[in-house]
Structure 1
């Protein structure tokens, strides 16, 4: 029997599209709702208390409206702060996003990895725990950048971005003591894979970039294995505040299967 329940993905902006892409590649027959909290954007500069209050409330409204089969919090900041509260409040599977420190440590030959995220993510004790559990033998350096989030959003809107801005972000990480050893960089914000090519071009040496998108996609596929799917897959992007959807953003959303745009 056809099951029209969508997979709901939630982020502060367009960053979660980097999670949607590998998930759609594994589950092209699914329906998707992509929710961007542009009304609260950017999360990286908000307090933990603000995020802890806002995210469960918004997801409650979204779940009531769309009745999804599963929710993906496609945002590192929201996951590290609000994941437990969301799981306690909602009676359905919730998949969070965590910095990909484990695969980065597995791939680093130099045993030195960098973690690029938002300010709110890189200061979380959760990052300390992941580093201790999976990268205890590695030097782990962190750098928080709200600017990189803005660059990713601008790119999807079709606006030009300055290569010097990417160099400045990388210098904040690689310029730290020991940063010259880093060979692997964790993109610990779902926005950042959207500008991976720009980061690679700006890097002073070849770097390996790792993000959690493929792992999240595999988890969603596992949790939905054996389920029925819609007869006609569709996708919708929903924003929490009115916005001017330009041609570039509309085209970018449509290219990712999100042909319908609405406001919560």
Structure 2
């Protein structure tokens, strides 16, 4: 694993790369669930390894792509679990008001009394993010927050993320969505961050072709240009033995 970058507070970083590039490993390193074998990770100048676990839980919230809560839990109770690391820092009324605000922000106030099992995929993902926000984190880590969601649900999730006002690092596979929602991009290949910087500077046709082997095009649409991926491959002629 090789990575060298710094992110300002309030920025939104999208990590992208082909399967096996090391994205999830990098996310676990940033979350502190895996220790680096060399180098260091700092949060506001403090070594992550030197931050006590309870303090780390107050500063960093991590939403894994494998979140599977007990489906019998009500949405409100599930989201409230995020307040556990900071429970003694605020009054009960403060926590209740914050919980109501987070549910409203995630557009789940009308589902607060529903069991998790009754939510759609997009609603469930918003519940995961709401639970993380209930921690009042300084850094929010999201491992593929739009995975397996339909286009409308992806838009809702990313729109929510872009309005949170906290530093966010997320793994995002859909390259055409990144310019709309991320301020920075890190492209990964073969276990290393090959490029990092502002989205418009990094997400270029040449960089995408080098990283993913597909064409990244910017096409005019109204008053702006929108990105499009050309993933066509040269077809194999019928009758050719593909194993040769």
Indicate whether the TM-score tops 0.5. Answer: no
TM-score (norm 1): 0.29
Structure with higher helix content: 1
Q: Which structure would you say has the larger Rg? A: 2
Question: TM-score normalised to the size of structure 2?
Answer: 0.31
